[in-house]
Structure 1
Amino acid sequence: MTISEGDGHPADRLQLVSDEILVERAVHGDVAAFQALVQRHGPLMRAYTSRIVGSRTEADDVVQESFIIAWRQLHALRNPGAVRAWLMRIASREALAHVRRRPSDAPLPPIDVPGSGDTRPENVAVRNAELRALSAALDRLPDDQRQCWLLREIAELSYTEIAEEMHLPPATVRGKLARARANVTAQMEGWK
């Protein structure tokens, strides 16, 4: 796709460019290209890390730190087409490090989830109760199963990407993910 200089605002034009081109431009110091990557992948990283750290505010800090790391290490990315998975791995490591830095006796912050457009009290109450039940179900999973589930269902990484992130064989990832899904499904039985 060719974009002429007269087409719209430069930031808008960058949203039409592939990740590969944005990465190549950002590696060569194009801040606007990196900003386009931030805008494209930041919301997913925030959603994923907020589930790990327990709050959107802390997730914002984790995502910001993740992008700082990414900017510094972008030249080391071997496959520019895999930038989303690479960013999610950085965010995952930073979120887990953030949780480990908490004092062991500090309570986890409550999970704050943005609301949907439906604000009828009965629907909000049901949605909040369902989210609490899902959160509780995920909290009862062993750490490795929970991480597999989050990387697959929230971060949308492939089995191979999860295996690389967790330093496990793909078959082990499949097994952990199958057990995690079975456990979550059983615990969420009442919400069908």
Structure 2
Amino acid sequence: MTDDGLRHLSAAGDRILAGRAADGDVRAFEVLVRRYSRLMRAYAQRVLGSNSDVDDVVQEAFVQAWRKLPELDDLDAVKSWLMRIVANRSFDVIRRRREHDDINEHDQPAPPQDSPEAQAEKLSLEQALDGALSRLPDEQRRCWVLREIGGYSYLDIGRELALPSSTVRGLIARARKNLIRDMEEWR
């Protein structure tokens, strides 16, 4: 495909790309991967709390999406569908971790450009947020992550989780209240 053809394909909407990819167009799927991989990585990073599994989770999500794309009924919802796949994969990893959790697997080495004090503070903040997020009920955590990390609207979150928008707003409000309470010392 020429550069103009790829550029033209890159300008296409999700519906067109998903339709072409569902028909086996690898280039269309590649555009979807480029379009949403950063968002999916950011989401997986926040849910998983470490970089060790993020690439695998996102790659597995795209492999599953490629296989299942012909079954997607609403091609306009490809973004939500991809995020649901990466969310499910991320939560699967968390469930597996809980089965045989080893504290040493969660240690993150300090980057050389940061001082030990700054890294210790950052790590402590991340651990506090991860702990606060893990204490939230599943629906509150999913809604909060989709809103704050994924940038989803209340309506999109409702569609994603099959909940009314009013319920989503309430869950996010309760999640924020719980997080503010749990993270009070970091204010």
TM-score range, shorter chain: 0.7 to 0.9
2:9 to 10, 14, 18: 14
Assess, with a 3 A threshold, how the Cα gap between structure 1 residues 183 and 102 changes in structure 2: closer, same or farther: closer
Structure 1 residues without counterparts, runs of 5 or longer = none
Per-residue CA deviation, residues 40-91 of structure 1 (Å, 9 max, x unaligned), is: 1011111212232333231211211111121122123233232111100111
CA contact (8 A) 2:110 2:119 kept: no
Question: Which secondary structure state, in structure 2, belongs to the residue aligned with residue 56 of structure 1?
Answer: coil
Aligned to 1:147: 142
Equivalences, count: 185
Amino acid at match of 1:110: H
Q: CA deviation at 1:11?
A: 4.2
Supply the RMSD in Å over aligned alpha carbons. Answer: 3.1
Distance 1:160 1:111 in 2: 37
CA contact (8 A) 2:44 2:58 kept: yes
Assess, with a 3 A threshold, how the Cα gap between structure 1 residues 62 and 113 changes in structure 2: closer, same or farther: farther
1:94 to 89, 94, 101: 89
Q: Is 1:71 equivalent to 2:61 in the alignment?
A: no
Q: CA deviation at 1:128?
A: 4.1
Aligned to 1:110: 106
CA contact (8 A) 2:21 2:29 kept: yes
Aligned to 1:130: 125
Aligned to 1:52: 47
Per-residue CA deviation, residues 130-166 of structure 1 (Å, 9 max, x unaligned), is: 3333223223323332222112111222323333443
Per-residue CA deviation, residues 87-139 of structure 1 (Å, 9 max, x unaligned), is: 00111122222322346242364286998xxx553655554443333223223
Indicate the larger mover: 102-111 or 168-177. 102-111
Structure 2 residues without counterparts, runs of 5 or longer = none
CA contact (8 A) 2:80 2:160 kept: no
Q: Is 1:187 equivalent to 2:182 in the alignment?
A: yes
Aligned to 2:161: 166
Distance 2:120 2:170 in 1: 34
Amino acid at match of 2:68: Q
- Identity, in percent, stands at 45
Distance 1:113 1:126 in 2: 13
Q: CA deviation at 1:35?
A: 0.9
Assess, with a 3 A threshold, how the Cα gap between structure 1 residues 124 and 111 changes in structure 2: closer, same or farther: closer
Distance 1:113 1:167 in 2: 39
Amino acid at match of 2:144: W
CA contact (8 A) 1:54 1:112 kept: no
2:171 to 165, 173, 176: 176
Distance 1:191 1:103 in 2: 27
TM-score with structure 2 setting the length? 0.79
TM-score with structure 1 setting the length? 0.77
